């Protein structure tokens, strides 16, 4: 993915899906990032479900300009060749985040929607980037929706201005469910705000049960930062582990 320095304009990404409210001013921004060897259309079921639940939201699904490794059909945000090295993986994710962050801010400015009303999410590789973007640029988005994803390394400290919603299949063989469970525990220890929903028997797919969980979390979860403002104190945990059959 092309990178941008602080004094350069953000990269231009193809935007196959840009859905706006049928009427009225947009109130939320939802940005979804596809997985490796996918196209934006792979996230259409998720995008449609979010649009129906949140009709005043703008839903954007950009597409990476980079073709997937080895002539595979679809696109990739970064190559998966050589990711046995954690340092290589970390550097590739960091380069993508360096480009995604200014692009996301440019969309917020273009649409006049602030970070607190912004959710960034994705599946697999896209979920990895959503997590790292929110952690490394705390305050750029209020919610993260990470499906079948993990972080390369645990964050040094949890974000204070974002809620991380993790959605995973118990039978995921690409990113085992132990990764989001460990991340949830680490975030809880640092009094971060996170939730985990696990769909039993589901593999590395964007399963309808997990989409339903995302709709529930976005509709019902009260962020810790809201509790802090209202109560002036931190709750004892980071959210919870909910299972879906």
Out of 157-161, 180-184, 225-229, 240-244, pick the least confident: 240-244
pLDDT at 241: 55
pLDDT at 224: 65
pLDDT at 139: 96
Please give the average per-residue pLDDT across 9-38, as a whole number.
92
pLDDT at 242: 52
Please give the average per-residue pLDDT across 40-55, as a whole number.
98
Q: What is the pTM of this model?
A: 0.90
pLDDT, one tens digit per residue, over 134-175 is 999 999 999 999 999 999 999 999 999 999 999 999 999 999
pLDDT at 103: 97
Cβ(210)–Cβ(202) below 8 Å:
yes
Tokens encoding 74:
């679809």
Model confidence at 115: pLDDT above 80: yes
Cβ(174)–Cβ(83) below 8 Å:
no
- In the chain, the domains with their CATH numbers are 17-244 (3.40.50.1820)
Banded model confidence at residue 6, pLDDT cuts 50, 70, 90: very low
Bridge pairing between strands 194-199 and 57-61: unpaired
Model confidence at 127: pLDDT above 50: yes
Please give the average per-residue pLDDT across 178-190, as a whole number.
96
**Cα-trace Rg, the chain:** 17
Q: In 3D, which of 96, 89, 63, 217 has the Cα closest to residue 147? A: 217
- Three-class DSSP category at 167: strand
């Amino acid at each position: 993915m092309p990178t941008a320095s602080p004094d350069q304009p953000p990269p231009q990404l193809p935007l196959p899906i840009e859905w706006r409210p049928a009427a009225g001013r947009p109130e939320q921004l939802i940005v979804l990032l596809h997985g490796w060897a996918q196209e934006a259309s792979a996230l259409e079921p998720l995008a449609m479900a979010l649009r129906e639940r949140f009709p005043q939201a703008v839903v954007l699904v950009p597409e990476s300009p980079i073709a997937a490794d080895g002539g595979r059909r679809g696109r990739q945000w970064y190559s998966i060749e050589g990711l046995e090295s954690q340092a290589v993986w970390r550097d590739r994710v960091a380069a993508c985040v360096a480009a995604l962050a200014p692009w996301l801010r440019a969309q917020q400015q273009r649409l006049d929607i602030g970070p607190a009303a912004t959710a960034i999410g994705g599946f697999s590789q896209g979920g990895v980037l959503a997590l790292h973007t929110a952690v490394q640029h705390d305050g750029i988005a209020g919610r993260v929706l990470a499906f079948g994803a993990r972080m390369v390394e645990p964050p040094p400290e949890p974000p204070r201005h974002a809620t991380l919603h993790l959605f995973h299949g118990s039978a995921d063989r690409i990113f085992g469910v132990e990764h989001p469970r460990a991340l949830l525990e680490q975030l809880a220890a640092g009094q971060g705000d996170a939730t985990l929903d696990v769909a039993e028997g589901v593999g590395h797919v964007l399963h309808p049960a997990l989409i339903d969980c995302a709709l529930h979390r976005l509709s019902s979860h009260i962020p810790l930062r809201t509790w802090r403002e209202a109560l002036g104190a931190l709750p004892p945990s980071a959210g919870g582990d909910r299972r879906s059959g």
